[in-house]
Amino acid sequence: MRPAARLLAPLVTLLAVAGCSDAKNAVNDAADGANKAADCAALANDTLQSGVTDAQQLNQQDVKQAADRLSDRAAQIDDADLRSAAQSLQAALDRVADAVAKGDTSALAKARTQAETAAREAAGECGIPVDRFTG
């Protein structure tokens, strides 16, 4: 091997490794984005199924089940900001379910407002319209 080729060989190897690292980072970023999108879709679906924004058809059991699903999901979310938003939403839905069970209309109004605020926060973290969460 010529002296110039010997000097270039490590450089070529280094560039190839750096290119692989960039590609791996791009794949990881894409996977993280896909995971976050899936988490957001699940959070939005659970919130929508809770019926929390439907004043006429609010059902304590539906809200409680949605809160329980959100609790399970939140524990599995990698993105810290989205996990925090999901936990806030879950807690707000728990308060709605408790207020419905007690028949406390004042607490219910407050809890629904908190749930809508939490849904807006989660939608913001997801970068999607809040109506995906609230209908």
Q: Tell me the domain boundaries of the chain.
A: 35-134
Nearest alpha-carbon partner for 58 in 108, 18, 15: 108
Lowest mean pLDDT among 21-25, 51-55, 75-79, 81-85: 21-25
Lowest mean pLDDT among 10-14, 63-67, 106-110, 129-133: 10-14
Q: At residue 14, does pLDDT exceed 50? A: yes
Structure tokens at 50: 């809770």
85-120 per-position pLDDT tens digit = 999 999 999 999 999 999 999 999 999 999 999 999
Lowest mean pLDDT among 22-26, 71-75, 126-130: 22-26
DSSP state of 52: T
pTM: 0.74
28-65 per-position pLDDT tens digit = 445 556 889 999 999 999 888 888 877 677 788 888 88
Task: Return the pLDDT at 52.
Answer: 84
Measured from the Cβ of residue 35, the count of other Cβ atoms closer than 10 Å reads 15
Task: Return the pLDDT at 28.
Answer: 47
Would you call 55 exposed, middle or buried from its count of C-beta atoms within 10 A (0-12, 13-18, 19+)? exposed
Contacts of 133 (CB under 8 A, 6+ apart): 43, 44, 47, 48, 119, 120, 122, 123
Task: Return the pLDDT at 129.
Answer: 95
Do residues 126 and 43 lie in contact, with contact meaning Cβ atoms separated by under 8 Å?
yes
